[in-house]
């Protein structure tokens, strides 16, 4: 598939530091690449406030039109959300598809969502985004035929009047309720089993999927692209002695996450909301790692998940600058691709299990072999001795604090 040529547009406003602005532009570069685009050029303007009519000043708009012509660009992506009027006015002056950061993120979500729920959530977010902008997108939307920013939920967007979109949204909502109930049943069933659950979270591209694969020997999509994982995946981790825990990988967090996407995002994190411990992966090699950490923490607050015990893993330490300093007390410094990394993480996971579960001792007669096997799978056994005189086993270990009623 041929990569589309893109021109990025960014406006430096007084409310953001230049460093934050450039980090955000770098992220836009990565997002464009993830959407299978090739950045041909970028246009930057420093403004006191954005132009209500065309976002950038009229002189810059002419400059943008010339750049598009020179590079024969297909798409122009603005690093901020545009109004319907702005899109219409820019489109009148520039011979290319005009989209904004939100639309680009929605587009990547549409590309990457695999599960039924993921697809429905993204389609809903896309329609919600489209609704107030329908009148403004005339010309650019009649050019169907795919491309960045137009991987829509299907059907010519122009032909769908607002009533039609509202009907679609209503329909998706109904389907989502059904899918969510199904997922809740699965989660409830999982909750009755006394199993320790870890949730992997972190900024997009921090290396969560690599860690997930190393720990579970699975191969979820492991790419150096933003949002490589969009649907939560839960797998078993096996520890010594037959003990098993569950690990859930989730979609990467991102700063300035469009509000239309918070719901889609929330659903992928619902699985993680009922874990025992969160593992927050941070890319130590990224110069903006502190900002990424802050983004994740504030989104956790928004999703009411900030009460969960959290272990921070600083990943990619082999590429981290000499000036790097971890700022979380409970942390691990690793490089996920090192051969020793899985064992180091598992060791810390065991410590967390011991900290969060309760210590127990018991004796079990030797004929209860089946029960013993079950205990070794569901509880973390630290000591197992056969007592000859009693013909029984003495067991020490850790098990869930709240026993389910049928135990």
**What is the rounded CA–CA span in Å between residue 246 and residue 257?**
28
Over residues 162-168, mean pLDDT: 84
205-209, 250-254, 258-262, range with the lowest pLDDT: 258-262
Residue 402: burial class (beta carbons within 10 Å; 0-12, 13-18, 19+)? exposed
pLDDT band at 67 (very low <50, low <70, confident <90, very high): very high
**Helix, strand, or coil (residue 365):** strand
Please give the distance of CA 184 from its chain centroid, rounded to a whole number: 20
pLDDT computed for residue 139 by the predictor: 41
pLDDT computed for residue 220 by the predictor: 65
pLDDT tens for residues 202-236? 888 888 889 998 998 866 666 666 666 555 678 88
Q: How is residue 13 written in tokens?
A: 């406003």
**Strand ranges of the sheet holding 4-12, from the earlier edge strand across to the other edge:** 37-46, 4-12, 75-78, 97-100
pLDDT computed for residue 330 by the predictor: 84
pLDDT computed for residue 132 by the predictor: 77
Q: List beta partners, residue 245.
A: 237
**What is the rounded CA–CA span in Å between residue 312 and residue 349?**
12
Sole residue written with tokens 């874990």: 275
What average pLDDT does the chain have? 83
Return the DSSP state at 96.
Answer: S
pLDDT computed for residue 194 by the predictor: 73
Confidence (pTM): 0.74
Over residues 251-255, mean pLDDT: 71
Backbone dihedral region for residue 94 (phi beyond 0: left; psi -120 to 50: alpha; all else: beta): beta
**Strand ranges of the sheet holding 277-283, from the earlier edge strand across to the other edge:** 233-238, 244-249, 197-202, 277-283, 310-315, 331-333
pLDDT tens for residues 6-46? 999 999 999 888 888 998 898 899 889 988 899 999 999 99
Helix H or strand E encompassing 371: helix 369-378
> What are the angstrom distances between the C-alpha of 272 and each of 310, 342, 373?
12, 21, 28
pLDDT computed for residue 235 by the predictor: 86
Over residues 77-103, mean pLDDT: 91
Has residue 169 got a pLDDT over 60? Answer: yes
pLDDT computed for residue 7 by the predictor: 96
Has residue 94 got a pLDDT over 50? Answer: yes
Percent of the chain whose predicted confidence (pLDDT) is above 70: 83
């Amino acid at each position: 598939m041929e990569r589309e040529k893109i021109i990025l547009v960014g406006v430096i406003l007084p409310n953001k530091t230049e460093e934050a602005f450039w980090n955000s532009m770098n992220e836009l570069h990565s997002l464009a690449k993830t959407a299978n685009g090739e950045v041909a050029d970028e246009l930057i303007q420093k403004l006191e406030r954005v132009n209500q009519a065309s976002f950038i000043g009229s002189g810059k708009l002419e400059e943008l039109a010339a750049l598009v012509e020179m590079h024969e660009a297909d798409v122009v992506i603005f690093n901020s959300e545009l109004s319907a009027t702005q899109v219409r006015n820019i489109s009148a002056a520039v011979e290319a598809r005009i989209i904004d950061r939100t639309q680009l993120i929605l587009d990547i979500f549409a590309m990457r969502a695999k599960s039924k729920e993921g697809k429905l959530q993204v389609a809903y977010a896309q329609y919600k985004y489209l609704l107030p902008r329908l009148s403004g997108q005339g010309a650019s939307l009649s050019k169907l035929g795919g491309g960045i920013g137009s991987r829509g939920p299907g059907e010519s967007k122009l032909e769908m009047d607002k009533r039609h979109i509202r009907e679609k949204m209503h329909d998706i909502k109904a389907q989502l309720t059904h899918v969510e109930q199904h997922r809740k049943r699965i989660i409830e069933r999982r909750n009755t089993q006394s199993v320790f659950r870890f949730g992997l979270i972190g900024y997009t591209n921090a290396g969560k999927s690599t860690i997930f694969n190393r720990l579970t020997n699975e191969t979820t999509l492991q790419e150096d692209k933003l949002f490589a994982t969009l649907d939560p995946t839960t797998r078993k981790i096996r520890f010594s002695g037959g003990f098993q825990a569950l690990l859930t990988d989730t979609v990467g967090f991102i700063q300035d996450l469009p509000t239309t996407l918070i719901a889609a995002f929330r659903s992928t994190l619902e699985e993680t909301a009922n874990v025992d411990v969160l593992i927050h992966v941070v890319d130590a090699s990224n110069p903006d790692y502190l900002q990424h950490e802050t983004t994740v923490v504030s989104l956790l607050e928004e999703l009411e998940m900030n009460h969960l015990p959290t272990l921070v893993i600083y990943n990619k330490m082999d590429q981290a600058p000499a000036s790097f300093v971890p700022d979380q007390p409970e942390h691990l410094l690793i490089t996920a691709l090192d051969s020793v990394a899985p064992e180091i993480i598992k060791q810390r996971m065991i410590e967390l299990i011991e900290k969060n579960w309760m210590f127990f001792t018991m004796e079990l007669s030797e004929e209860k072999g089946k029960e013993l096997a079950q205990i070794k799978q569901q509880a973390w056994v630290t000591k197992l001795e056969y007592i000859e005189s009693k013909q029984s086993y003495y067991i020490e270990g850790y098990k869930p604090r709240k026993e389910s009623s049928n135990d």
